[in-house]
Amino acid sequence: MFQVACQPFRWPLALAAALVLSTLAGCERVGDWVDGECQEGQLDRPRFCDRDGDLVADRDPTGQRWLNPETLIFAYTPVEDPAQYRDVWNGFLKHLEAETGRRVQFFPVGSNAAQIEAMRAGRLHIAGFNTGSLPLAVNCAGFKPLAMMAAADGSFGYEMELITHVDSPITSVEKLRGHTLAFTSPTSNSGFKAPSALLGSEFDLQAERDFEVAYSGRHDNSLLGVFNRDYDAAAVANVVTDRLFEQGKVPRDQIRTLYTSKTFPTTGFGVAYNLHPELEEAIRRAFFSFPWEGSVLDEEFPDEDGFIPISYAEHWAVIRQIDQVFNPGYACR
């Protein structure tokens, strides 16, 4: 699925100079330092090792493979218009520069696979991975989750919804039979994995047997596709569709919700596992000291009030359970 670390990866020329040193350092730091002390788990072995049982790759205890780049590369999960989010994240990245004393470069990614591959190759240092792709990032790319957006009371997350057009003959989940359901991508939790598990376990509906499948690439594409009648129905994350409703891109009253799931964690933010510990601590500090109120992030995510600490073992437990329905093993090659 992903290229082996240090193989060529296509980046914009503007980033090339900034990445040369960190890329070479990343290649030098990939090694088989792990040994029999590693915990059993899903991490890609022998590339990564979990010694403390938190399910996340540990930093090399010898210090020989720590990354300490002068330019930090940040990427947000793929969205409809990646370039637009450069401005959304600009204030946070300036805050990150002040806390770390490093230059921070925003990289707009076009797919989950590209984002995971970039971190696996040592070329991406800080990132926000969406709910479904985060376990792959942890196990295949050495991603270490640190933070998640949340409301002031600590509440967080979103629900998966099955939607259709308000004028559609599909009035219940059971009536999806014989129609086309749009997923986003196979790595998405709410856009593929959760609805697939749900439809099979609760409604005895299977893709290709009971309904046709289309892949839209993103949740916003799925919503727009349902609105424009390109898809009969779609599985989406309401944290995305609610934003599009609020922006007036799709009239809310033209969409019918067939099903709403329980709450899932949203995008997880964190770092490459092998950053220098002092640098990781500075990045962690930046997330939790960012002045949220009145920021562009506050405008873009009005239901959130800042970042809270997260644990992969705790907050992504339900997502790992969903993954086991597909028995993926988090294949990294």
* Per-run averaged pLDDT (10 residues), the chain, 333 residues: 35 39 38 63 92 95 93 89 85 98 94 93 96 94 98 93 98 97 92 93 94 95 97 95 93 97 93 98 98 96 95 93 76 74
Per-residue model confidence (pLDDT) at position 275: 98
Which residues are 244's β-sheet partners? none
Same domain, 200 and 301: no
| CATH number of domain containing 93 | 3.40.190.10
Taking the C-alpha atoms of residue 169 and residue 166, their distance in angstroms, rounded to an integer, is 9
Same domain, 56 and 150: yes
Per-residue model confidence (pLDDT) at position 144: 98
End-of-domain residue from the set 213, 242, 264: 264
Same domain, 22 and 121: yes
Q: How far is CA 36 from CA 57, 313, 326, in A?
A: 14, 22, 29
Q: How far apart are the first and last CA of the chain?
A: 5
Taking the C-alpha atoms of residue 22 and residue 94, their distance in angstroms, rounded to an integer, is 20
Per-residue model confidence (pLDDT) at position 332: 81
Q: How far is CA 153 from CA 8, 10, 306, in A?
A: 44, 42, 10
Structure tokens at 23: 């890329």
How many domains in the chain? 2
Global model pTM greater than 0.85: no
- Beta-carbon contacts of 79 under 8 Å, excluding residues fewer than 6 positions away, are 85, 218, 220
Of 46, 27, 21, 24, which Cα lies nearest the Cα of 35? 46
Range of the domain at 29: 13-154+266-326
Same domain, 142 and 67: yes
Same domain, 257 and 163: yes
Same domain, 190 and 289: no
Per-residue model confidence (pLDDT) at position 220: 93
Which tens digits make up the pLDDT trace of 105-143?
999 988 889 999 999 999 999 999 999 899 999 999 999
Taking the C-alpha atoms of residue 160 and residue 190, their distance in angstroms, rounded to an integer, is 5
Residue 32 counted as domain residue: yes
Residue 2 counted as domain residue: no
- Beta-carbon contacts of 175 under 8 Å, excluding residues fewer than 6 positions away, are 169
Residue 7 counted as domain residue: no
Which residues are 128's β-sheet partners? 269
Residue 6 counted as domain residue: no
Residue 30 counted as domain residue: yes
Sign of the CA dihedral running 288, 292, 297, 298 = positive
Taking the C-alpha atoms of residue 286 and residue 272, their distance in angstroms, rounded to an integer, is 16
Same domain, 28 and 132: yes
Phi, psi of 16 (to 5 degrees): -55, -50
Of 111, 93, 110, which Cα lies nearest the Cα of 102? 93
Which tens digits make up the pLDDT trace of 207-238?
999 999 999 999 999 999 999 999 999 999 99
Taking the C-alpha atoms of residue 167 and residue 169, their distance in angstroms, rounded to an integer, is 7
Which phi-psi region, left, alpha or beta, contains residue 248 (left: φ > 0; alpha: ψ -120 to 50)?
Answer: left
Of 266, 275, 287, which Cα lies nearest the Cα of 92? 287
Same domain, 117 and 81: yes
Whether 217 and 180 have beta carbons less than 8 Å apart is answered as: no
